[in-house]
Amino acid sequence: MHDSLKDFLKCPHCSGSLSISGAEYANRIIMSGRLACARCKQSFEIVRGIPRFLLGETYAGSFGFQWKRFYDVQIDAISRNKESENTFIEKTGFTSADVKGKVILDAGVGAGRFADLVARWRCKKAVGVDLSEAVETAFNNVGDRDNVDIVQADIFSLPFEKESFDIIYSIGVLHHTPDTKKAFMHLVPFLKKGGVFAIYVYSAYARKRIWIGSEILRKATPKLPVKLIYYLSALAIPVYYLYKFPLFDLWLYPLFPISRHPNWKHRWLETFDWYTPIYQWKHTYAEVYNWFKEAGFTEIEPLDYPVCMRGVKG
Ligand SMILES: C[S@@+](CC[C@H](N)C(=O)[O-])C[C@H]1O[C@@H](n2cnc3c(N)ncnc32)[C@H](O)[C@@H]1O
């Protein structure tokens, strides 16, 4: 973590101030040390450049595995394409002008693909938070940027000063928590008044077409060893070609849905990502709209990609 992150941090248990001791630096990044709360006396370690506000990954272990294996697949700066940039624009509506100079929270940073983007778009600071060991990958991918910090913490117990961020986005994360709406509500206090909150959650609309098979399979797959699913989901690489035949597409695909991404690595990652998470809720535009309303947002704007929405904190 950079020294400047200290201004944003608070004890996740009592909101007390945190002081740092034993800091060891490498290239202006605090690689190890300890943060201690002046009020409740809890302390939190900084390990390999990341402040750790958790003791374990709890339900998110599959994501830790996922982002360690597929560490570079979606990072535009590594893949030399604009896929994650296009996804970000489509799912948040933000442009580089919206992001420049802003303090941003990436809630559920994963491998850091969007933190990579907003850092290149010259945000003032992007703080990427994740529950899982994905933080190790995110730190390796983007931790050396002057305007990025990675923090291991739970959205339900964030270690930040209230109203710290100009923008909060959470892309493909909240539906993987035990309660999507509660996770949404836990993020709101950390946004400044007038700040913008953008989320993407899985849609309930496509259920009939392809999710019948996957919902049956998913009753078992999150309970299987992640390594087994890792190898089984590699079947998506060749099966994709089988599904190009209309008969297989019509009858087999709804029973054994896979990612149909044209790139084999993305296809493997996305199929794994579909079958492993313990929680995978689906939502409608009406539901999400009501969360924004209930939390006092104005200018609530549904985006075309289901279900993406953003709003301004009132
Ligand atoms: C599907 S990944 C999406 C990652 C990233 N937003 C992206 O689109 O590339 C979901 C991420 O949410 C994280 N996550 C799930 N529950 C969380 C929680 N309660 N607090 C913080 N992160 C959480 C997982 O560890 C995982 O890395």
pLDDT digits (tens, 9 = 90+) for 143-155: 999 999 999 999 9
What is the pLDDT at residue 207?
58
Q: What is the reported pLDDT for 149?
A: 98
List 45's β-bridge partners, or say none: 34
Dist. CA 233–CA 300, nearest whole Å = 37
Over 80: is that where the pLDDT of 99 sits? yes
Q: Which residues contact 35 (CB under 8 A, 6 or more apart)?
A: 9, 18, 19, 20, 43, 44, 45, 46, 51
Percent of the chain with pLDDT over 70: 98
Question: For residue 87, which atom of ligand 1 is closest to its CA?
Answer: 8
Enter the tokens of residue 52. Answer: 């750790």
In Å, what is the CA distance from 119 to each residue of 103, 144, 146, 221, 235? Answer: 10, 11, 9, 36, 35
CA 244 to centroid of ligand 1, rounded, Å: 32
273 Cα–ligand 1 center, Å: 11
How far is ligand 1, taken at its centre, from the CA of residue 2, in Å?
22
Sequence ranges of the domains in the chain: 48-202+284-313, 207-275
Q: Give the position of tokens 């909101």.
A: 15
pLDDT value at position 80?
87
Substitution site in 131, 142, 152, 155 for ligand 1 pocket (most atoms within 8 Å of beta carbon): 131
CATH no., domain 48-202+284-313? 3.40.50.150
Compute the average pLDDT of residues 63-77: 95
pLDDT band at 43 (very low <50, low <70, confident <90, very high): very high
Cα–Cα separations (whole angstroms), residue 195 to 98, 100, 163, 298: 11, 14, 9, 10
Question: pLDDT tens-digit profile of 233-248?
Answer: 999 999 999 999 999 9
Average pLDDT of every residue of the chain: 96
Q: 171 alpha carbon to ligand 1 midpoint, in Å?
A: 8
Question: Which residues have C-beta atoms less than 6 Å from ligand 1?
Answer: 60, 63, 67, 74, 108, 110, 113, 129-132, 134, 154-156, 171-173, 176-177, 273
End-to-end CA distance of the chain: 31
The type of residue at 23 is A
19 has a pLDDT exceeding 90: yes
**How confident is residue 57, by pLDDT bands cut at 50, 70 and 90?**
confident
Distance of CA 57 to the CA centre of its chain: 14
> How buried is 221 (Cβ within 10 angstroms: 0-12 exposed, 13-18 middle, 19+ buried)?
buried
Which amino acid residue places its CA nearest to atom 25 of ligand 1? 132
C-alpha 242 – ligand 1 centre gap (Å): 31
DSSP, res 256:
S
Q: What per-residue confidence (pLDDT) applies to 274?
A: 95
- pLDDT value at position 251? 87
Which ligand 1 atom is at minimum distance from the Cα of 67? 27
| Tens digit of each residue's pLDDT (9 = 90 or more) over 158-176 | 999 999 999 999 999 999 9
Determine the average pLDDT of the residues in 94-115. Answer: 98
Q: Tell me the whole-structure pTM to 2 decimals.
A: 0.96
Q: Which amino acid is at 43?
A: S
Give one DSSP letter per residue of 19-65, joined into a string. Answer: EEEEEEEETTEEEEEEEEETTT--EEEEETTEEB--S--GGGHHHHH
Q: Which atom of ligand 1 is nearest to the CA of 74?
A: 9
Q: Of 58, 66, 94, 173, which is best to mutate to test ligand 1, by the most ligand atoms within 8 angstroms of its C-beta? A: 173
DSSP letters of 107-139? ES-TTSHHHHHHHHTT-SEEEEEESSTHHHHHH
**What is the 60 CA–ligand 1 centroid distance (Å)?**
8
Residue 131 C-alpha to ligand 1 middle, in angstroms?
A: 7
> Which has more pLDDT, 42 or 215?
42
Q: What is the pLDDT of residues 193-214, one digit of tens each?
A: 999 999 999 999 865 556 678 8
